[in-house]
């Protein structure tokens, strides 16, 4: 074996997977919008710049195929709308619909509840340090 500490790394990987599954809320019963769809919805609603499929692909770190599927699902639920550009009818930006805004209002606390629990139960410095380290790790892994 190249890495003699691989068992320790497997344990760390398990902790990371457990944290991820606890931190990312799944859709609750009766809710038809998935966690990934909500992520797209939040990004479209909160972005200060025009949101394109390419922007979402880079921001979320997932494939263009998955982004296309998520957009199609959200559009079919009338939560987002495509605005085609004049220059190239294949290019478009996304905007949130009134129905999409209502979905966010109905879901944001449930979706963010794990983060609220961390914030309430950790010292402020620890909470901020956790997300500083997560951001640093994301930068390393995105390379």
Structural domain count of the chain: 1
Residues in Cβ contact with 45 at an 8 Å cutoff, skipping those fewer than 6 apart: 96, 100, 101, 104
Domain for residue 66, yes or no? yes
Domain for residue 18, yes or no? no
pLDDT tens across the length of the chain (143 residues): 577 788 899 999 999 999 988 887 666 666 778 888 989 999 999 999 999 999 999 999 899 999 999 999 999 999 999 998 877 777 899 999 999 999 998 888 888 889 999 999 999 999 999 999 999 998 998 88
pTM over 0.75: no
CATH number of the domain to which 105 belongs: 1.10.10.10
What is the pLDDT, as a whole number, of residue 66? Answer: 96
Domain that holds residue 103: 31-141
Residues in Cβ contact with 127 at an 8 Å cutoff, skipping those fewer than 6 apart: 118, 119
What is the pLDDT, as a whole number, of residue 93? Answer: 95
What is the pLDDT, as a whole number, of residue 124? Answer: 97
Q: Which residues pair with 84 in a beta bridge?
A: 92
What is the pLDDT, as a whole number, of residue 81? Answer: 97
Residues 40, 46: Cα–Cα separation, whole Å: 10
What is the pLDDT, as a whole number, of residue 26? Answer: 65
């Amino acid at each position: 074996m190249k890495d003699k500490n691989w068992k320790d790394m497997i344990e760390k990987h398990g902790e990371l997977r457990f944290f991820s599954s606890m931190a990312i809320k799944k859709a609750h019963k009766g809710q038809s919008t998935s966690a990934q769809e909500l992520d797209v919805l939040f990004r479209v609603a909160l972005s200060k710049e025009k949101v394109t499929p390419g922007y979402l692909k880079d921001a979320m770190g997932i494939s263009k195929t998955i982004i296309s599927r998520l957009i199609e699902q959200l559009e079919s639920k009338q939560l987002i709308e495509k605005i085609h550009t004049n220059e190239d009818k294949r290019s478009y930006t996304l905007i949130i619909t009134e129905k999409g805004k209502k979905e966010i209002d109905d879901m944001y606390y449930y979706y963010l509840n794990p983060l609220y629990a961390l914030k309430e139960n950790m010292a402020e410095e620890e909470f901020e340090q956790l997300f500083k380290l997560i951001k640093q790790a994301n930068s390393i892994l995105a390379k």
